[in-house]
Amino acid sequence: MILHNSSNFPLGIDISDLSIKICQLNKIGNNIFIQATAKSDLPKGMIEDSRIIKKTELINLIQDLVSNPKMGKFSSTDIAVCLPENKTFVKLITIEKNPNDLAEVIKIEIEKYIPMAVEEMYFDWQIIKNLPQGQLVLIGAAPKAIVDEYSQLFNNSGFTVSAFEIESTAICRALLKEESNKFKEQEITNYGIIDIGEKQTSMIVYSSGTILFTVSMPISGEMITQKIADSLQIDFDQAEKAKILCGMDKDKAAGVVGGIIDKVIEELVDRIEDVNKFHDYHYSDYGKINKLLLCGGGSNILNLHTTLKNKLGIEVEIGNTKSNLSSKEIINKIPLLKKVDIIENEPGWATAIGLALRGVFVDEI
């Protein structure tokens, strides 16, 4: 456990329909490490389609998790909270030179790219690059109804929200060294990050230090499990165990489970290829996507990354959620931290770790 050097960095809180994960980081010198984590499944009906149904029960659960963490000890009431990916939008756009105030121009232009009325959304933007004929601007938006709902959740809860953040931003911060303030530009890699969640899958396209766009896909870990259950006529929990134990290994269960999963993965492959074509047409200046990273709780399927690599002809890896944290070997050399237990690379923790990293990176600026 952490001894006397406790962190004031905000906790990263990742809330989905089915679970909640909380992470806090600490930093000693240049070493960034996990101080505390907590996790819980959510009862059915607490959150549905990203809308919070039982606010009191949810905040009570969060307070209990912070008071009784799985590992370590939380030492701040400041939090960074993830907004649901399927309700938010991120896109890199070009704004042509205009004599008017840039903020006002973006307010007018944003409805061309975001399927919401401007008065119904909160949005933010960042200039990525100045061009001869304009500017590259990254825009992010979320429905006011969702943001207000999450904001109200934490009112009078004892927590102070330092940031509401779009999930894709947090995921990139966790997985990509390019997001670190200390990153020195090398050969540019164009990433496709596949976040396979229990309820949906998202693909984030990232290049040259910024997200280009995100796409939602109607594929999920829950869908794969249900396909196994229906095909083998077993209950959902048994199907989930079969998915984890057998995955896409042809030598396990005579390849039956792998064959069922493969049919869903074919659909995922088709969707990824569609995204690649869209990217090549609209973002050709960046070059082709040359690496896929997998994250999310549904990405732990045995042999999934090798199957995708063979089908797509692109390098595919399980994303390293601790890309911007210090290695276990380095941390174990620090006397104060020798007893710290560190979670292994678990792709389902990408969002929570990325949220927690936000405060660390802001502090470094």
Averaged pLDDT for residues 86-105: 92
Mean pLDDT of the residues in the chain = 91
Residue 212 lies in a domain: no
- Residues 279, 311: one domain? yes
- Residues 103, 237: one domain? no
Q: Give residue 328's pLDDT band: very low, low, confident or very high (50, 70, 90).
A: confident
Q: Give residue 338's pLDDT band: very low, low, confident or very high (50, 70, 90).
A: very low
Could you tell me the two tokens for 203? 């693909």
Contact yes or no for 226/243 (Cβ under 8 A): no
The total number of structural domains in the chain stands at 3
| pLDDT value at residue 333 | 72
Q: Could you report the per-residue pLDDT of 213-243, keeping only the tens digit for each? A: 999 999 999 999 999 999 999 999 999 999 9
Residue 202 lies in a domain: no
Could you tell me the two tokens for 103? 């903020």
- Residues 270, 341: one domain? no
Residue 237 lies in a domain: yes
Which pTM value belongs to this model? 0.92
Q: At 163, which CATH number?
A: 3.30.420.40
Residue 195 lies in a domain: no
- Residues 249, 344: one domain? no
Q: Could you report the per-residue pLDDT of 174-216, keeping only the tens digit for each? A: 999 999 988 877 778 999 999 999 889 999 999 999 999 999 9
| pLDDT value at residue 117 | 94
Listed in sequence order, the DSSP H helices in the chain are 55-67, 102-109, 144-154, 167-175, 221-232, 236-246, 256-282, 304-312, 328-331, 350-364
Could you tell me the two tokens for 28? 């000693």
Residue 194 lies in a domain: no
Taking the C-alpha atoms of residue 98 and residue 365, their distance in angstroms, rounded to an integer, is 31
- Residues 303, 334: one domain? no
- Residues 295, 340: one domain? no
Share of the chain above pLDDT 90, in %: 78
Q: How far is CA 143 from CA 19, 87, 150, 213, in A?
A: 22, 7, 11, 18
- Report CA dihedral (286, 288, 290, 295) to the nearest 10 degrees: 80
3-state secondary structure of 87: helix
Boundary-marking domain end, from 141, 159, 174: 141
- Residues 40, 160: one domain? yes
Residue 39 — φ and ψ, nearest 5°?
A: -150, 145
- Residues 153, 292: one domain? no
- Residues 331, 306: one domain? no
- Residues 341, 353: one domain? yes
Residue 43 lies in a domain: yes
- Residues 305, 230: one domain? yes
Residue 206 lies in a domain: no
Residue 156 — φ and ψ, nearest 5°?
A: 60, 30
Could you tell me the two tokens for 53? 């149904």
Q: At 98, which CATH number?
A: 3.30.1490.300
- Residues 302, 233: one domain? yes
Q: Which domain holds residue 100?
A: 89-141
| pLDDT value at residue 74 | 95
Residue 19 lies in a domain: yes
Q: Could you report the per-residue pLDDT of 45-75, keeping only the tens digit for each? A: 999 988 999 999 999 999 999 999 989 999 9
Q: Give residue 156's pLDDT band: very low, low, confident or very high (50, 70, 90).
A: confident
Averaged pLDDT for residues 13-22: 95
